[in-house]
Chains A and B, each alone.
Chain A
Amino acid sequence: MRGVISRLNLRQRTITRIILSIIVLIGIVSSGLLIDADRLSIDLEMKNSAPSLEHLFGTDWLGRDMLARTLKGLTLSMSVGLLAAFFSTGIALFLALLASWNKRMDQFVTWLIDLFLSVPHIVLLILISFALGGGFNGVVIGLALTHWPSLTRLLRAEMLQIKSAEYVGISHRLGKSRLWIARHHIFPHLIPQLFIGFILLFPHAILHEAAITFLGFGLSTEQPAIGVILSESMRYLSTGLWWLAFFPGLSLLIMVALFDLLGKNLQTLLDPFHGQKR
């Protein structure tokens, strides 16, 4: 295996990694979607059993299969992450294009970025999610409203560079409107950054979702979210039911790492600057 990998060049290796991580992620989602409610039902006879061949991740205090719950939870986390990252990217793009309007707008956007970055993510997230009454909507909106600043800063820098390019100046002097320039010159150049930023927002969003759910401000305890599973399992750690926290936690970590890997490799593939760096 090692031989095969080293014989590939950087580009081929990158593509292999991307394909592999996409396959695993799709596997998680599709298995999570395919699990029907019966697998999640309780079975008091089987409660608190340690990991075995029948229940790979063990069962909880109501005899629910932890593997099924974990997969459901990961799928839920992923959909939360998807929505939140999508909206966040949307906000980032809008603000970056807004900053290209004029100096005052640019100052306003920079000020907004600084404002949001000066408060820790998680605090703001709890505030927003709590104010919106928690639940799925609260979490998604909270995540969307807190995860845009760093991406916006990146996009704005990119935008400033493009804006100072000669052909943009020529377009301007030829009488093209600002909107036209934003659409035809700036936006196409932002797409690679936007896409990678979108992917790299995922792990953040998912981890923060799990974090505030763990703290009790996020998804309701009905949903098999990873954060819920983890916070419930804390009560059973002292009686030795380690598998309740270990496997779901590890799975979350693996999924987040996969997204990170995917994002980094896409960056290598799409962004010429990163592509040359070893």
Chain B
Amino acid sequence: MRLKKNAIWIILLVLIFLMSACSNTADIENEKSEDELILAIGGEPDDGFDPATGWGRYGSPLFQSTLVTYDQDFNIQNDLATSYEVSEDGLEWTIVIRDDVTFTDGEALTADDVVFTFETAKESGSIIDLSNLDRVEGIDDYTVKFTLREPESTFIYLLASTGIVPVHAYNDNYNENPVGSGPFQLVQWDKGQQIIVEANPDYYGEKPFFKKLTFLFLSEDAAFAAAKTGAVDVVSVPPAFAGEEIAGMQLVELESVDNRGIMFPYVSEGDETAEGAPIGNEVTADSAIRQAINVGLDRQAFVDGVLEGFGTPAYSTADHLPWWNPDTVIEDANLQLANQILKEAGWLEKEDGIREKDGLTAEFTLLYPAGDQIRQSLSIAFAEMIKPLGIKVTTEGKSWNEIEYLMYSHPVMMGWGSHDPLEIYNLYSSKTRGIGYYNANYYSNPVVDDYLNQALRATSEEEANSYWKKAQWDGETGFSAQGDAPWAWLVNLNHLYFIDENLVIGEQKIQPHGHGWPITDFIEQWRWEE
């Protein structure tokens, strides 16, 4: 009896080994040719590949092409456009497009398609904010005129991120069967597993070196394991994996503005949003608290401790972008100064080491989205780090749904970072208070508002950038840590990838928020090392 039982166990065990052995061999079998790449960079787009609903905002839209693009240094380059012109008052944008472009189904790309794309995107009510676009019309077959309601210098970034869709082939299934004029075309999409794309033979631009790309949608663990077996050529990894060695692959670290920072409620308690969510927090409404935290934090310690060194200290939402003001960099990790600021503002230490001002205890709850390990670690480390200041922070992980209700009255560990300076406007303008996640802390400063409006109304990028910078810090006031400090920016994450040793991906831009797709930005230029 006993022997029989043992025998059954052994057979079971052997069976399990056999099964796992089988599945291993299956993966390695598929031989691939020279001009193919397999990538596991995550981020399957839930809404499919329709630029009118947000596809292609980060990285390359792959299947579609845009009117203009950025180069590596954020200069605007023509893509579909051959020239563009902005009227004196900044309201009318006239764009001439190429006349030799066809979609992958053979039809020519004309002004009608451009008009259709922007009208569809405007009506889609998606992430693309085109509310300022009054109308868009075709002047002739290859000239398009955009008319804005108000001048908006950042409109160019919408042109750079919105892929053009064909009016004749656009329907409800377009997001699953995209037809476009981009460098690649979609062959197959197995939802939840992979997409396979092939090069577009009629592409008007530089032809991509790789003829076939497979994007696998794997969990971080599975992607890492796949890289170890040599099954993928490019894989995105979290900092925790970056210390590992993978034979035949090298670690690529890309700097980013994919930042993490804490949004502090800027106003006192009392009000409610239209949905009944409380607004404001007495403690963080005191500028001394926010400034002391900004000065007292040791940002480099976050980079070394939480990000394993794969990151940079963050001082604003747009570090190192053309519209960033280097004056926002402050000397931090200065507990002495921080304590002094608090003391001068009347926050005095009690016996238990926690400060108090007029009966108000210096404590708050910092929220972070549960399940985001980096934000959780940053939050816990933050609470620990500012304990010596006499500010008591409890951390709590919540779902985004709960955060949406609580974010007006509690500090939240947020993350931003965009290639569009409009983000600055959205985060800091009085006009956007309480709209979406952007200005949920109800920040407002008339001087900053003035600069932000001037930046939007500017007709050249240089002029706009100078006002964006002034809004951050003009020597007296601003929204950076030197000024009102409505946020405490902590770190910019470096985006980490293991790529095949022989793969050359060239120079990359500073990466935006969102790990994964941004690396595809210049994928046409990728090639094997000779």
Contact = CB atoms under 8 A, between A and B. Distances in A.
Contact of A62 (B241, B381, B397): B381
B377 A61 contact: yes
A235 to B, nearest CB: 6
The A contact surface, by secondary structure, is loop
B376 interface: yes
B404 interface: no
A47 B381 CA distance: 12
A44 to B, nearest CB: 3
Contacts of B305: 44, 47, 62
A9 to B, nearest CB: 27
Contact of A41 (B224, B225, B377, B384): B384
Interface in B361-401: 370-371, 373, 376-377, 380-381, 384, 395-397
Contacts of A6: none
Contact of A44 (B220, B221, B373, B381): B381
A220 interface: yes
B240 interface: yes
A195 interface: no
B446 interface: no
A44 B304 contact: yes
Interface string B287-318: 00000000000000100111000000000000
Contacts of A216: 370-371
Contacts of A236: 240
A237 B220 CA distance: 12
B308 to A, nearest CB: 9
B393 to A, nearest CB: 12
A238 B244 CA distance: 10
Interface string A40-65: 01101001000000000000011000
B243 interface: yes
A232 interface: yes
Interface in B224-253: 224-225, 238, 240-241, 243-244
Contact of A222 (B220, B384, B397): B397
B371 A239 contact: no
Contact of B240 (A42, A220, A222, A239): A239
Interface string A229-273: 000101111110000000000000000000000000000000000
Interface size class of B (residues with CB under 8 A): 20 to 34
A110 B304 CA distance: 61
Contacts of B381: 42, 44, 62
Contact of A42 (B243, B380, B396): B380
Most B Cβ at <10 Å: residue of A47, A61, A236, A237: A61
A62 B377 contact: yes
A221 B373 CA distance: 10
B405 to A, nearest CB: 13
Contacts of A62: 305-306, 377, 380-381
What's the dominant secondary structure at chain B's contact region? helix
A222 B384 CA distance: 14
Nearest to B383: A42
Nearest to B222: A238
A62 B374 CA distance: 11
B304 A238 contact: no
A61 B240 contact: yes
Contacts of B376: 221
Contacts of A41: 384
Nearest to A42: B384
A232 B380 contact: no
Contacts of B244: 239
B241 A239 contact: yes
Contacts of B373: 232, 235
Contacts of B225: 238
- The CB with the most chain A CB atoms within 10 A, among B301, B305, B306, is that of B305
A235 B370 contact: no
Interface in A24-80: 41-42, 44, 47, 61-62
Contacts of A221: 370-371, 376, 397
A138 B381 CA distance: 28
A44 B380 CA distance: 11
Contacts of B243: 239
Contacts of A222: 395-397
A142 to B, nearest CB: 18
A269 to B, nearest CB: 29
A42 B384 CA distance: 7
Nearest to B376: A221
Nearest to A63: B305
Interface in B329-365: none
A253 B371 CA distance: 25
A235 B397 contact: no
A73 B353 CA distance: 28
A41 B388 CA distance: 14
A220 B397 contact: yes
Interface string B275-296: 0000000000000000000000
Nearest to B387: A41
21 contacts: A41-B384, A42-B380, A42-B384, A44-B304, A44-B305, A44-B306, A61-B240, A62-B306, A62-B377, A62-B381, A216-B370, A216-B371, A220-B396, A221-B397, A222-B395, A235-B238, A235-B373, A238-B221, A238-B224, A238-B241, A239-B241
Given A62-B305, A62-B377, A216-B371, 13 more contacts: A44-B305, A44-B381, A47-B305, A61-B377, A216-B370, A220-B370, A220-B396, A221-B371, A221-B397, A222-B395, A222-B397, A232-B373, A238-B224
Give the 6 A-B CB pairs with smallest separation, nearest first. A44-B305, A221-B397, A221-B370, A238-B221, A42-B384, A238-B224
